[in-house]
């Protein structure tokens, strides 16, 4: 049986059709691209998603409201805190719960640390896709510190399951605050190192500058979110423009693409926006640690919560952009429908229309710069 | 910063350290010593002398003379192949170790002290693996392709010097021969890319053809600069035209040669498929490029050629620009004086030969380290940028260097002192550049809170 997607490939001309993936070193997981190439130049790259579908949304209808929380970790394993948070916010709205202030701060701290960790993987692997292998272990080294911090906080290094409906699972352990501050001091001096290590590398700038430009209008039309949207010059960040949790209490910059190495919205802008965002996140963590209020970390929630019938949406600014959970309740202890709207899936949509005229090496840069993560595409 | 590292491995047992040192030092040194002894005594004059004096026959009529000479050549071939293989293997360990240190990792540390024996384990693994040929591949070409590369790599050793008298054959067209013979490697890569019947391999083959053939041109033209300065194509002749001290090296004696060295070195990086020109096997784009479908011994051959080429390109650059085996403060007539007139050279001559080999090996290894350093520092360039760099910048610049050298040689023949002045001035410039580089490195390391220079934990 022929795959449906292959019907979109024009077979009349003599172009070579390449299966770029699902086992390919730089597709960032099991993603397939059907690529029509004329020598090194792409005619078209058609993303073929669905290799990592695990029916997570369906599972959300089968298990109870609190039971779905560990599954949300698997929606985006690199930024599991946000996947937790989006779902928690959606269900809290259904249950009309008020989350304690301290829990909101702890969520912000954990999420921003997770954002740094996620962006570190993103920019490190992006450098590796461009051919510079050395920055990747340096990125992972810093991520290791964050993993240690988060492990001390919730006992897990990848799939955290830290948030609960109505709060968080654990309070800060002893001495964690100081450890975190030591890390932040170390981390702040890294922007310069990172710039020297790879960002301002002449070859790197030329490989990414002006490549795969996504204009402001295109970015909005295709519904791009998060760093991909901001790199195209759209100044939109949920944390600032539609604050949730504790974010209204913090002051932070939202980096927007400026065409640092060429045109606004090119691969380099998407890369550098992420670099700057990490340091903005570090500022948020610092502020949250300073202002951290005392008090409860969890409100009382029944073991099998039964929200009134209705529907709600929980949106968070994840590392990969706006992550929204749409939860419909029919009044029982299980959700009628759970749906996750994820940034990577939206980013995949634009690849087909940006790809014509790129080179094979540029396609790798484009995929890396959109920071797609396979489980978040397919769920 | 406290991190939950895995526990450090136990201390290496003392016998293993001893064994590692014995292999690490013994293997290359014994090969070099065999070369040192073998190459001078297998010269035709020496063989004839041996037949005449030791065996008591007239070499002109003795029937076994050619057989003896052929046996000597086979022996030399085996030793040179051994040297290429050992160097290639050790380079893989060195590269992984250096990459580890550069990337804040430890690198191989299990097999042998410092993980040194890992290259032998790798080689053994490759020999033992199944030699797979894809069902749709062109069987004959697929099997033959690695040998093109191997031949192209090994034949360069014919004219690559190791020391003053240590060279397989000092051909009159040495430099030309090397340029011609290294082109065989491309044939291997092209054939491998074509016969694999894999699209990734084909891409690698395309890219390699475009890249290597383009970069042959700036490499060839910039190679003409030292040739013009020496007035000969012979490798030993080029080295003899230089001196031991830095200001006597070609690279500093002529401003154009200083530029030509960088053009030559860049082109050599491209020809050897090293980063930032590793497009034919760009792993993040083409999976593994032209050797995607290879496994076992045949993959090992490609690997050997790739790492062995490190020696070839570095030795070539050292020969052409950095004074080769010349020992500082030692002149050409002193070599003749030390050699004397006896049929068998005196011990002092052998010592001098060993010293010249050591100088050559040390210089070459320094350049090899530079190549490794570049690989783990720079990203890969794109194919259009690679072609632009070659045709728009390197080829015209190489031509300019060539023309400048012609005029420079006229100037030198009129005013000989200008060569020494340029040599001293450019040596000082190079010294200042190195000092600035070291200072910048130090500042970079200390600018990050908590980082320090740490050379321990190898």
Give the pLDDT confidence of A325-364 residue by residue, as tens digits.
999 988 888 888 888 888 888 888 888 888 888 888 888 8
The whole-angstrom separation of Cα A31 and Cα A45 is 12
- Residue in chain A closest to B376 (alpha carbons) equals A134
Weakest-pLDDT range from A4-8, A214-218, A242-246, B431-435: A4-8
| HEC profile of B306-366 | HHHHHHHHHHHHHHHHCCCCCCCCCCHHHHHHHHCCCCCCCHHHHHHHHHHHHHHHHHHHH
The whole-angstrom separation of Cα B351 and Cα B33 is 11
Q: Give residue ranges of B with CB < 8 Å to any A CB.
A: 1-4, 99, 102-105, 199, 203, 206-207, 275-276, 278, 282-287, 376-385, 444, 447-450
CA angle A124, A125, A127 (to 5 degrees): 65
Is the previous residue joined to A132 through a cis bond, with omega within 30 degrees of 0?
no
Domains recognised in chain A with CATH numbers: 53-378 (1.10.645.10)
Report whether A45 contacts A58 (CB < 8 A): no
Tell me the per-residue pLDDT of A272-285, one tens digit each, with 9 for 90 and over.
Answer: 999 999 999 998 99
Which of B3, B376, B382 is nearest residue A361 as measured by Cβ atoms? B382
Residue B232, pLDDT score: 87
The whole-angstrom separation of Cα B419 and Cα B411 is 9
Which of A16, A136, A207 is nearest residue B382 as measured by Cβ atoms? A207
Residue A116, pLDDT score: 92
Chain B contact for A25, CB < 8 A?
yes
Tell me the per-residue pLDDT of B214-270, one tens digit each, with 9 for 90 and over.
Answer: 888 899 899 889 998 888 888 888 888 887 788 888 888 888 888 999 999 999 888
Tell me the per-residue pLDDT of A297-323, one tens digit each, with 9 for 90 and over.
Answer: 888 888 888 888 888 988 898 888 888
Query: In this complex, do B2 and A26 lie within 8 Å of one another by their Cβ atoms?
Result: no
pLDDT band at B435, cuts 50/70/90?
very high
Q: What are the chain B neighbours of A186 within 8 Å (beta carbons)?
A: 1, 448-450
Chain B contact for A180, CB < 8 A?
no
Q: How far is CA B249 from CA B354, B365, B414, in A?
A: 21, 18, 20
Q: What are the chain A neighbours of B450 within 8 Å (beta carbons)?
A: 186
Mutation for testing the A interface, residue in B199, B285, B377 having most A CBs under 10 Å: B285
Q: Taking 80 as the threshold, does the pLDDT of residue B175 lie above it?
A: yes
Other beta carbons within 10 Å of B54: 8
CA dihedral A260, A261, A263, A265 (to 10 degrees): -70
Q: Taking 70 as the threshold, does the pLDDT of residue B9 lie above it?
A: no
Radius of gyration (C-alpha) of chain A in whole angstroms: 21
Q: Taking 70 as the threshold, does the pLDDT of residue A111 lie above it?
A: yes
Query: In this complex, do A186 and B448 lie within 8 Å of one another by their Cβ atoms?
Result: yes
The whole-angstrom separation of Cα A209 and Cα A205 is 5
- Residue A325: HSE in the Cβ half-sphere, 13 Å Cα cutoff: 32
Residue B5, pLDDT score: 58
Q: Taking 80 as the threshold, does the pLDDT of residue A51 lie above it?
A: yes
The whole-angstrom separation of Cα B364 and Cα B28 is 14
Element (H, E) at B421: helix B417-446
Query: In this complex, do B381 and A207 lie within 8 Å of one another by their Cβ atoms?
Result: yes
Handedness of CA A45, A51, A55, A56 (dihedral sign): negative
Element (H, E) at B28: helix B14-41
Name the token pair of B129. Answer: 């693996």
Per DSSP (E only), the strands in chain A are 16-20, 32-38, 41-48, 163-164, 167-168, 310-318, 321-329, 335-341
Name the token pair of A193. Answer: 């190192």
Rounded to a whole number, what is the distance in Å from the CA of A64 to chain B's nearest CA? 36
Q: Taking 50 as the threshold, does the pLDDT of residue A1 lie above it?
A: no
Return the exposure string of B6-25: e unless at least 16 CB atoms fall within 10 Å of the residue's CB, then b: eeeeeeeeeeeeebbeebbe
Mutation for testing the A interface, residue in B5, B202, B205, B382 having most A CBs under 10 Å: B382
Tell me the per-residue pLDDT of B345-386, one tens digit each, with 9 for 90 and over.
Answer: 788 788 888 888 888 888 998 999 898 888 888 888 888 888
The whole-angstrom separation of Cα B419 and Cα B406 is 14
Tell me the per-residue pLDDT of A112-165, one tens digit each, with 9 for 90 and over.
Answer: 999 999 999 999 888 888 888 888 888 888 888 898 889 888 888 888 888 888
End-to-end CA distance of chain A: 25
Q: How far is CA B114 from CA A128, A134, A239, B13, in A?
A: 26, 21, 50, 12
Residue B10, pLDDT score: 66
Tell me the residue length of chain B.
458
3-state helix, strand, coil in chain A (%, to 5): 50, 15, 35
Q: Taking 70 as the threshold, does the pLDDT of residue B8 lie above it?
A: no
Strands A167-168 and A310-318: unpaired
Handedness of CA B168, B172, B175, B176 (dihedral sign): negative
A235: left (phi > 0), else alpha (psi -120 to 50), else beta? Answer: beta
Report whether A237 contacts A227 (CB < 8 A): no
pTM above 0.90, yes or no: no
- Residue in chain B closest to A151 (alpha carbons) equals B4
The whole-angstrom separation of Cα B97 and Cα B425 is 36
The whole-angstrom separation of Cα B414 and Cα B404 is 15
- Chain-wide mean pLDDT for chain B? 83
Mutation for testing the B interface, residue in A134, A173, A197 having most B CBs under 10 Å: A134
Query: In this complex, do B104 and A141 lie within 8 Å of one another by their Cβ atoms?
Result: yes
Report whether B211 contacts B277 (CB < 8 A): yes
Segment 97-136 of chain A within 8 Å of chain B by CB: 127-134, 136
The whole-angstrom separation of Cα B266 and Cα B268 is 5
- Residue in chain B closest to A182 (alpha carbons) equals B1
Rounded to an integer, the average pLDDT of B437-450 is 80
Name the token pair of A53. Answer: 């579908």
Rounded to a whole number, what is the distance in Å from the CA of A73 to chain B's nearest CA? 23
The whole-angstrom separation of Cα A194 and Cα A198 is 6
- Residue in chain B closest to A362 (alpha carbons) equals B382
Rounded to a whole number, what is the distance in Å from the CA of A196 to chain B's nearest CA? 8
Whose structure tokens read 């013994």? Answer: B26
Return the exposure string of A235-264: e unless at least 16 CB atoms fall within 10 Å of the residue's CB, then b: ebbbbbeeebbbbebbebebbbbebbbbbb
| Contact residues for A103 (Cβ-Cβ < 8 A; gap 6+) | A166, A167, A168, A296, A297, A298
> Tell me, what's the ipTM?
0.79
Name the token pair of A211. Answer: 């490549």
Is the previous residue joined to B276 through a cis bond, with omega within 30 degrees of 0?
yes
| Contact residues for A243 (Cβ-Cβ < 8 A; gap 6+) | none
The whole-angstrom separation of Cα B176 and Cα B164 is 20
The whole-angstrom separation of Cα B309 and Cα B85 is 11
Percent of chain B exceeding pLDDT 70 equals 95
Report whether B405 contacts B225 (CB < 8 A): yes
Report whether A362 contacts A24 (CB < 8 A): no
Rounded to an integer, the average pLDDT of B190-194 is 87
Whose structure tokens read 């840069």? Answer: A365
- Residue A217: HSE in the Cβ half-sphere, 13 Å Cα cutoff: 0
Report whether B197 contacts B138 (CB < 8 A): yes
3-state secondary structure of A341: strand
Tell me the per-residue pLDDT of B41-69, one tens digit each, with 9 for 90 and over.
Answer: 777 777 777 777 777 777 777 778 788 87
The whole-angstrom separation of Cα B385 and Cα B362 is 34
* Exposed / middle / buried, residue B335 (Cβ in 10 Å: 0-12, 13-18, 19+): middle
Q: Taking 90 as the threshold, does the pLDDT of residue B432 lie above it?
A: yes
Name the token pair of A155. Answer: 């006992």
Q: Taking 90 as the threshold, does the pLDDT of residue B436 lie above it?
A: yes
Phi and psi dihedrals of A326, rounded to 5?
Answer: -110, 115
Residue A13, pLDDT score: 66
Residue A302, pLDDT score: 81
Chain B contact for A357, CB < 8 A?
no
Radius of gyration (C-alpha) of chain B in whole angstroms: 24
Residue of A111, A150, A134, A104 whose CA lies nearest to A299: A104
Chain B contact for A45, CB < 8 A?
no
Distance of alpha carbon B7 from the chain centroid: 38
The whole-angstrom separation of Cα A366 and Cα A360 is 10
Return the exposure string of B405-436: e unless at least 16 CB atoms fall within 10 Å of the residue's CB, then b: beebeeebeeeeeebeebbeebbeeeeeeeee
Q: How far is CA B261 from CA B238, B247, B309, in A?
A: 14, 15, 18
């Amino acid at each position: 049986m022929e795959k449906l997607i292959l019907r979109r490939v024009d077979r009349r001309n003599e172009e070579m059709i390449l299966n770029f993936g699902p086992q390919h070193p730089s597709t960032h997981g099991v993603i397939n691209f059907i690529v029509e190439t004329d020598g090194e130049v792409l005619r078209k790259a058609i993303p073929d998603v669905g290799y990592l579908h695990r029916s997570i949304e369906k599972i959300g209808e089968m298990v109870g409201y609190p039971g779905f929380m560990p599954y949300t970790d698997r929606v985006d394993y690199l930024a599991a805190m946000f996947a937790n948070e989006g779902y928690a916010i959606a269900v809290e709205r259904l249950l009309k719960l008020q989350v304690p202030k301290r829990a909101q701060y702890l969520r912000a701290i954990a999420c921003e640390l997770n954002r740094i960790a996620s962006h570190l993987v993103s920019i490190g692997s992006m450098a590796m896709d461009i051919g510079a292998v050395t920055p990747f272990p340096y990125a992972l080294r810093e991520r290791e510190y964050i993993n240690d911090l988060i492990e001390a906080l919730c006992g897990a290094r990848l799939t955290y399951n830290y948030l609960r409906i109505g709060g968080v699972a654990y309070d800060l352990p002893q001495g964690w605050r100081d450890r975190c501050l030591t890390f932040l001091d170390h981390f702040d001096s890294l922007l310069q190192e990172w710039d020297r290590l790879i960002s301002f590398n002449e070859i790197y700038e030329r490989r990414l500058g002006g490549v795969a430009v996504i204009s402001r209008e295109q970015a909005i039309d295709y519904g791009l979110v998060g760093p991909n949207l901001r790199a195209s010059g759209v100044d939109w960040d949920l944390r600032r423009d539609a604050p949730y949790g504790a974010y209204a209490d913090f002051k932070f910059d939202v980096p927007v693409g400026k065409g640092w190495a060429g045109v606004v919205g090119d691969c380099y802008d998407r890369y550098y926006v992420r670099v700057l965002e990490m340091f903005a996140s570090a500022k948020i963590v610092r502020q949250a640690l300073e202002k951290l209020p005392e008090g409860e970390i969890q409100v009382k929630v029944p073991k099998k919560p039964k929200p009134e019938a209705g529907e709600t949406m929980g949106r968070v600014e994840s590392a990969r952009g706006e992550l929204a959970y749409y939860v419909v309740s029919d009044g029982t202890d299980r959700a009628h429908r759970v749906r996750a709207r994820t940034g990577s899936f939206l980013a995949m949509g634009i690849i087909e229309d940006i790809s014509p005229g790129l080179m094979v090496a540029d396609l790798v840069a484009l995929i890396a710069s959109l920071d797609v993560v396979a489980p978040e595409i397919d769920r | 910063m406290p991190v939950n590292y895995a526990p450090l491995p136990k201390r290496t047992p003392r016998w293993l350290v001893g064994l590692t040192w014995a292999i690490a030092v013994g293997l290359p040194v014994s090969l070099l010593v065999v070369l040192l002894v073998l190459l001078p005594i297998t010269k035709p004059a020496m063989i004839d002398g041996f037949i005449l004096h030791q065996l008591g026959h007239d070499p002109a009529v003795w029937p076994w003379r050619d057989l003896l000479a052929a046996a000597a050549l086979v022996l030399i071939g085996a030793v040179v192949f051994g040297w290429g293989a050992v160097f290639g293997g050790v380079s893989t360990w060195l590269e992984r170790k250096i990459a580890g240190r550069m990337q804040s990792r430890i690198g191989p540390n299990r097999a042998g002290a410092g993980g040194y024996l890992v290259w032998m384990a790798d080689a053994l693994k490759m020999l033992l693996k199944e030699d797979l040929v894809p069902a749709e591949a062109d069987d004959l070409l697929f099997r033959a392709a690695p040998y093109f590369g191997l031949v192209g790599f090994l034949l360069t050793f014919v004219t690559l010097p190791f020391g003053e008298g240590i060279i397989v054959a000092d051909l009159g067209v040495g430099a030309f021969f090397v340029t011609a013979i290294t082109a065989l490697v491309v044939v291997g890569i092209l054939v491998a890319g074509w016969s694999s019947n894999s699209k990734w391999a084909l891409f690698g083959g395309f890219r390699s053809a475009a890249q290597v053939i383009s970069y042959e041109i700036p490499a060839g033209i910039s190679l003409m600069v030292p040739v013009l300065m020496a007035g000969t194509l012979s490798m030993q002749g080029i080295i003899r035209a230089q001196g031991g001290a830095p200001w006597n090296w070609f690279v500093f004696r002529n401003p154009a040669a200083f530029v030509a060295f960088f053009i030559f070195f860049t082109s050599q990086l491209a020809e050897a498929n090293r980063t930032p020109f590793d497009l034919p096997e760009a792993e993040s784009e083409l999976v593994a490029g032209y050797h995607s479908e290879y496994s076992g011994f045949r993959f090992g051959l490609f690997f050997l050629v790739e790492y062995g080429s490190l020696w070839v390109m570095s030795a070539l650059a050292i020969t052409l620009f950095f004074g080769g085996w010349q020992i500082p403060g030692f002149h050409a007539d002193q070599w003749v004086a030390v050699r004397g007139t006896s049929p068998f050279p005196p011990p002092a001559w052998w010592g001098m030969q060993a010293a010249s080999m050591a100088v050559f090996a040390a210089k070459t290894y320094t350049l090899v380290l530079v190549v490794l350093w570049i690989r783990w520092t720079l990203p890969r360039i794109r194919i259009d940028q690679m072609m632009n760099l070659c045709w728009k910048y390197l080829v015209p610049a190489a031509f300019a260097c060539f023309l400048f050298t012609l005029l420079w040689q006229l100037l030198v023949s009129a005013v000989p002192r200008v060569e020494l002045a340029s040599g001293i001035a450019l040596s000082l410039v190079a010294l200042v550049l190195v000092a600035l580089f070291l200072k910048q490195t130090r500042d970079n390391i200390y600018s990050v809170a908590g980082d320090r220079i740490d050379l321990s934990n190898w």
